Structure 1
Amino acid sequence: MHHPQQHPLETPRLKVVGSSQPKLVHTPSQQSIAASDDYYSFSDITAHSSTSKVTVVPYQTAPSRNPSTQDVHTHIQDHIPQPEDSQDKQIQPARAVASVRRPSMSRPPTATRGEIRLLDNGTPTPGADDSPYIRFAIDQLTRDEELRGAGRHGSLATTDYPVERIVPDEGLGYYTAVPNKTVATDNNNNSSSNTTMEQPESTDTLIAVDPPSDTYTHLPLTFIPYVLRPAFLAIGILLCLAMVAALIFCNVWSQQKDGLSNYVYFGGSKYFVFEFLPQLLGMVIVLWLFVVQAAVYRIAPLSSIARAGARDTTLQRLPMLPKNFVLPDLSHFTYGEPVVGVCLFVIWAVNCFTVPLLSCLFQPRYYGTLQDGGFRWVSVQGVGWTLVVIYALLVLSLFAILARFGFGVSGLQWDPVSLADVIPLIQRSNVLHDFDQSEVTPNVGGHLPPRKLRLGYWKTSSKPDNFYALGEESAPLKRVSSVDRLLEKSNGAATKTADPATVDVERQELHNKDSFERSLHSPFFRYRWAPWFLKDTFVVAWIIIAFVLLIAFLAVSFVNRPLDRGFLPLLPTLPSASGFSSSNFLFSFIPALLGNFLFLAWQPIDVYFRAAQAYSDLSSPRGAFAEKSLLLSYNSCLPLEATFHALFAGHYKVAYISFISVASLALPVLAGGVFMARFYAENGQVRISSYTPAYYTLVAFAIVYALSFLTIWPRRIRYLPHPLYTYADAISFLYQSPLLVDKVFREPRTKTDLITRTIVAPPGESHKALYAFGVYYGQDGKEHLGIDRLRRLEGDE
């Protein structure tokens, strides 16, 4: 067939081969700044050229005026093939508003049925599908600039990109972005599972179903973390009951037997048993409660949604990271989990007050009725019975947690401890459209509309297959492509006279779209958020406060030799019949309370650095392996376990901060037992004396704690566009990710299956998969900020 040549100055014309049933093929963009030279799909690996390294050719438009909505409609309609019986059909726009340049692409050596052949000269040929060019022309003719008369800010080819793309090559040429590729299809086969364009609108709805009885292919939704299972939770309950029994015994025995043991001298083994051991035992319970509390936070939002008892905003408001440290977290009362709220409040009270109270539980008291008289260690009755009540409430709270999570349906297939565990929850969700542009909003919870969600097994109205997902019952699967939405608007505008208000609305929408695109590339939005206590101003304030208090503490400790001479108590020191001494209580409870405050104040810092480490590694210019990013689960680790894991992974800041979170428990333990009222014979006075070995150890830990604030300054890679405390926050970085439609992540059977798929080398590649956080092309063909996978170029090491 002879192909007419087009004069350079003539209006560009696009030709397609007509057929009896022509249609517009929505060709997905697999281009990803995320990734690489060739963002790939496992269904079309063979279609990639191993030697092709095509770079992006930028395009420009030069509108001379602001066209009306009718003009936009005309341009779109003129570029869509119409059904004709003729063998060849020309499509020519009514008016040329832009010269269209399409990216150059490699020509495949052969063209077979079901493949897409792209000729370098752009001439349509029988057997070739020119719909990608039509799609490209539509994108050009309907771009934002045509309504606003302004050029787009930023381009793929620009070099002054202010925010890291998913893999910037930094001028080294290791990774380059490629133009849009089409996915090879076959008439006898479905399209690739990695299609990166939203599908046409569907009338399918999600229908809730009971968990299938086939547990081999469909896991039961009864999983709970091991620390919340009856066997393990029973161990903690028994430990608390043992503490209650020991407290009751000490109180009763001390009253009936005139004390517990003779007071020999200031120091020694008995001094350690009565002044330091109770705090250590109490701190063991506190550390164990940290693990239980983290597990409750982790599964409470999802379990609440699975049981259909959640509020409409549970997903975006209920935190998944623990926050119950210095101040109590009452959010569970607000969002449909009052039982969990009560339990967490009791846990907060235990964490805050039990260790300071244990530090003043035992005091020496003089008994003149004894033979030759003498001092004996006694249990302070008021303190002892207060501790009994607190620990008894803790036992009841643990039973309530066991009843809430230990039995029945939890909605979980496995423990959601990492970013990778979020992917199976939303792969086939019908509420992801709510997250549009949420990745750059400062408050994801305020961005999402209230919805009654459910986590469990579903089927669609058109297919009987069961699948696991987070979704809204009886709601449609909203998947409308940007082209369809544009055609709907244009068709609606063609049937009525142009309304200025309608035009203003459309311009506002396009303005919002352009603002979103600029936000993706703006460092102000990308590096906007860190916890308030880790903002630059506050970090400086903490460092200054820590050093000022440390200097004051050292001055008070060593000026005028108070350690040797002691100091006046200024309060009565004689113990009452119940063993209470005002001065001993004050100088035991208050120092321990201050030390416990410092201990608890470090925990939110530790939680944030553990959670942000995955995003930190993903923000690296070279990306990160799954073991150091998507699969990180530091917040589910036991005390010191996270330290060792972080050391082996090379996350030294996380390792140090998590170590200090445990080591700082020495502050309340030592501070609560270092002071005691003693009689100084040389002065004939009762003075407060300090136990020198414990005091020097306390000074050393205080110095280390103060210096540790120099390490908490988060670098830029730990800043995010918005908080990361809820599951909605995490989903906002994944809702358009190609990972959701990747065969590698499709419906993993078990947690082991998910981990294996995530860390192994993808089919057709010799290197392990890399992942990154940055700007990428989502399933809708648009730019988004979030998590995507990287692909190495051939020959790169």
Structure 2
Amino acid sequence: MTSSGVPSLRSVNSSRPQLQHAESQQSVSASDDFYSVDDQLETRSDTSEVTVVRYQTRHQSRQASGESSVSRSQPDLETVTALPQMAVTRETNDVRPGTASTLRVGESQVTPINTRPGEPRRQSTMDSNSTTTPGVDDMPYIRFAIDQLTRDEEVTGIGRHGSVVSADYPVERLVPDEYPRPAEPPRQSDQEKERRPGLAREDSEGPDVFIAVDSPDVLHYPRLNYVPIVLRPWALALVILCCLLMIAGVVFCNVWSKRQQGLWTYDGLGGPRYFVFQFLPQLLAILIIVWMFVVQAAVYRTVPFSMMASECQHDRILHDLPILSRNFVLPDFSHFKHGEALVGVSLFLIWLTNLFAIPLQSCLFQAKYFIIDRQGTWRWTAVQAVGWTLVVVYALLTIALLLLVIRFSRGYTGLIWDPVSLADLIPLIQRSNVLHDFDRSETADAVRDVVTPRRLRLGYWRMSNNAEIFYGIGEKHAPMRNPSLQQPENPREKQPLLTTDSLDLEQQRSLVNEAFERSLYSPFTRYRWTVWFLQDTFVLAWIVTILVLFIAFVAVSFAHRGIERGFLPHLPTLPSANGFSPSNFLFSFIPSLIGTVLFLLWQPIDVYFRAVQPFADLSSPQGRRAEHSILLAYPSLLPLQTTILALSARHYKLAWISFMGLASLSLPVLAGGVFTALYYPSLNEVRITAFMPAFYTLLGFFALYTFSFPIAIWPRRKRYLPHDISTLADLISFMYQSPLLADKVLREPRSKTDLATLLIVSPPGERERPVYGFGIYRGRDGKEHLGIERLRRPGRADMLITTASMK
């Protein structure tokens, strides 16, 4: 500010405007070192049609370095006086070396411009159409300076918008915005686009939008036809073969025992033949059931991607379609709601098999008294009704597997590899144009309620004004809305006039932002969710129920030596002509069915702990390396494989839970064969008795199962999350602002090995291997978010993990 009260702009040795970026609260546009003019400018009075209204800028931060004490006591910027006709003149009188000529607006001095000693005086373009640099008009720079004086008010909405700007003063930035615009690629002719495979002819004019690319060059881009191994036709054909062998075996037993009066001579309770007919059928059944769990897991994690690749018409695939198995005690019909009838029917038939196969196998064979050659003998025979029911069950399972073969033999799933870990989501959403829908979703109670449903596609894309092809999830014909990958919108165009309604809206937004920031640090939000059956109330209910069942079982078994002495069946015992005995069926089918239900009840617990283990590791205050966190793939592993790998990774709770998921199969197997009807000559009656070695083994496994509930399944605090993790939308909400998506080293990996290597090795310029965490980090938008990111990143503050004292 000069003595005459006229605002001034300092100058540096430069002949063009320059932009400096500094992390300061000072207004960039109004900063006194934002630009300068170093040349002598002289002008005569010239009339302009611009009418400038007095503006008052907001006060800048007093922390900017380089301010003099005089300038800090004065307003940052004063006003440019409005006149009916504004004349822009330059002082040309008495210009001497070392003095300053001044740029005048009307009669008011605006900017002193130093004249270096020894330099000749130059004429202005307003004088004689000559410029400081021949052929370059300096009027745009003057206009730019005036425009910059008023820029802050227009951005923030504080200044008045009543200025009348004539057509000969276009508001055009001579200095670009903070983010540089990407260079526009050369446009291709229609003939060139037609020659490029997979590139449809699109008009390059207009907004840059997502264009689907169906068949890019297969030599440079991987084919999107990956199917998990267990869902490939040959793998499913092997399971179908097992089912057909099971059907053939049951049919043989039924037919042979009917024609030949039994299968084999009965050798008494506990003999080798007793094991073959009372326990071996269940053991064969559980092999198929365990493999069905692996198939189910692959179906759940693959179908959502396959549906997006086929461009189905459902818009809630990310929101509602689960990626974790649910088809255990109760059937899951979610795929029917999304038009996947083949998958829905398959899962329902698999559920029927998982629930009833073992109980039916346990009562398939029965000891029956036959008269052969006028001599009576006990022989093992097949129960006809049970055998033909089993044939139907395995025939339905075969149909289910055939439906899966049909579903996944289409050859196009949209996948390059199997998406089994959190890291596999990175290449899928790196360049997605729907991530803006997930704003603040990480703290939402239910992501499905806050994220806009859209019809999405998984595959190759290009932008309408760019021939580069990339891969991921996106919305067709929608623009790139990711702020880290595009030029932000011009704030001058973005800000509306400041009215009472807009003030209220700004206040509401401010309140929403404050509420969101508070929720990030709130323990009530961070530790709000766990799966419903592992909440404290339900865990207590589980423990009480299982303890009561166990105590009742032990009391009934040993009171008055009831198991050793046997007990009355209260039902007919002698087998019919078809081998059916009501008492034997009841005491084989019902105990095995109860054991099957207990086995199926454990499976959701196993699935949950497998899925949440990466988050438990990421919640460690020291973070975890990728191979022990975001690359973990427990939900896709076999039960015994999970146990072994969890032990090697020191995930002892998960190892035990996974082991019990397999060991609990002993309950239906043993319970279905431990009881049988025997004739007691001393009592002259038939009683139900138990094979005691099998009974004690059953009791031991039941005790392990019972006490695993209070010891193992109670989730500690680090396994609690802000919301569910069973859908793709739930997982994306923890990654949509992660700088991992913008890492150049992670851009478009071509294989799973490539991705894993890039996540494990030290980034360029760093010596330490990266560790990852789940906490509060600085997102790509510069704001705080809750989710998955590197624990330490050069140039950024470390992630804040709030579970430092949690186990």
- With the length of structure 2 as denominator, give the TM-score of the two structures: 0.76
1:43-122 correspondence to structure 2 within 5 Å: 94=56, 99=61, 101=63
**Which secondary structure state, in structure 2, belongs to the residue aligned with residue 375 of structure 1?**
strand
**Which secondary structure state, in structure 1, belongs to the residue aligned with residue 529 of structure 2?**
coil
Q: Distance in 1 between matches of 2:601 and 2:678?
A: 33
Q: Is 1:386 paired with 2:389? A: yes
Distance 1:663 1:183, change over 3 A: farther
| Deviation digits for residues 730-759 of structure 1 (CA, Å, limit 9, x no counterpart) | 111111110001012100011111111011
Q: Is 1:296 paired with 2:296? A: no
Q: Distance in 2 between matches of 1:26 and 1:211?
A: 43
Distance 1:483 1:465, change over 3 A: closer
1:205-220 correspondence to structure 2 within 5 Å: 205-215=209-219, 217-220=220-223
Aligned AA (1:204): D
Q: Distance in 2 between matches of 1:787 and 1:219?
A: 28
Distance 1:586 1:307, change over 3 A: same
- Residue matched to 1:656: 656
- Residue matched to 1:762: 763
Distance 1:187 1:203, change over 3 A: closer
- Residue matched to 1:147: none
Q: Distance in 1 between matches of 2:33 and 2:292?
A: 66
Q: Distance in 2 between matches of 1:390 and 1:15?
A: 88
Deviation of the 1:18 alpha carbon: 10
Out of 421-430 and 540-549, give the one that drifted further.
Answer: 540-549
Q: 2:261 aligns with which of 254, 258, 262?
A: 258
Q: Distance in 1 between matches of 2:35 and 2:513?
A: 33
1:568-647 correspondence to structure 2 within 5 Å: 568-647=568-647
**Which secondary structure state, in structure 2, belongs to the residue aligned with residue 688 of structure 1?**
strand
Distance 1:260 1:426, change over 3 A: same
**Which secondary structure state, in structure 2, belongs to the residue aligned with residue 493 of structure 1?**
coil
- Residue matched to 2:778: 777
Q: Distance in 2 between matches of 1:187 and 1:412?
A: 30
Identity level (%): 53
- Residue matched to 1:71: none
Out of 295-304 and 405-414, give the one that drifted further.
Answer: 405-414
- Residue matched to 2:401: 398
**Which secondary structure state, in structure 2, belongs to the residue aligned with residue 645 of structure 1?**
helix
Q: Distance in 2 between matches of 1:328 and 1:409?
A: 27
Deviation of the 1:235 alpha carbon: 1.2
Asked whether the 8 Å contact 2:12–2:37 carries over to 1, the reply is: no
| Deviation digits for residues 513-567 of structure 1 (CA, Å, limit 9, x no counterpart) | 2211111111111111100111111112212222222111111111110122100
Asked whether the 8 Å contact 1:438–1:447 carries over to 2, the reply is: yes
Deviation of the 1:491 alpha carbon: 3.8
- Residue matched to 2:675: 675
**Which secondary structure state, in structure 2, belongs to the residue aligned with residue 208 of structure 1?**
strand
Aligned AA (1:621): P
Q: Is 1:243 paired with 2:273? A: no
Bigger radius of gyration among the two: 2
Q: Distance in 1 between matches of 2:584 and 2:315?
A: 52
- Residue matched to 1:417: 420
Q: Give the aligned CA root-mean-square deviation in angstroms.
A: 3.6
| Deviation digits for residues 308-327 of structure 1 (CA, Å, limit 9, x no counterpart) | 12511012111111111011
- With the length of structure 1 as denominator, give the TM-score of the two structures: 0.77
Deviation of the 1:230 alpha carbon: 1.9
Distance 1:100 1:725, change over 3 A: farther
- Residue matched to 2:747: 746
Q: Is 1:536 paired with 2:536? A: yes
**Which secondary structure state, in structure 1, belongs to the residue aligned with residue 639 of structure 2?**
coil
Distance 1:408 1:85, change over 3 A: same
- Residue matched to 2:734: 733
**Which secondary structure state, in structure 1, belongs to the residue aligned with residue 411 of structure 2?**
coil
- Residue matched to 2:324: 321
Q: Distance in 2 between matches of 1:457 and 1:16?
A: 51
- Residue matched to 1:332: 335
- Residue matched to 1:520: 520
Distance 1:694 1:77, change over 3 A: same
Distance 1:425 1:287, change over 3 A: same
Q: Distance in 1 between matches of 2:389 and 2:15?
A: 86
Asked whether the 8 Å contact 1:297–1:320 carries over to 2, the reply is: yes
Q: 1:449 aligns with which of 430, 452, 460?
A: 452
Asked whether the 8 Å contact 1:211–1:218 carries over to 2, the reply is: no
Q: Distance in 2 between matches of 1:100 and 1:320?
A: 53
Distance 1:297 1:97, change over 3 A: same
Q: 1:475 aligns with which of 473, 478, 481?
A: 478
Deviation of the 1:203 alpha carbon: 2.6
Q: Distance in 2 between matches of 1:670 and 1:690?
A: 11
Q: Distance in 2 between matches of 1:440 and 1:702?
A: 40
Q: Is 1:506 paired with 2:509? A: no
Deviation of the 1:793 alpha carbon: 8.3
Deviation of the 1:509 alpha carbon: 2.1
**Which secondary structure state, in structure 1, belongs to the residue aligned with residue 268 of structure 2?**
coil
Out of 368-377 and 647-656, give the one that drifted further.
Answer: 368-377
Asked whether the 8 Å contact 2:10–2:36 carries over to 1, the reply is: no
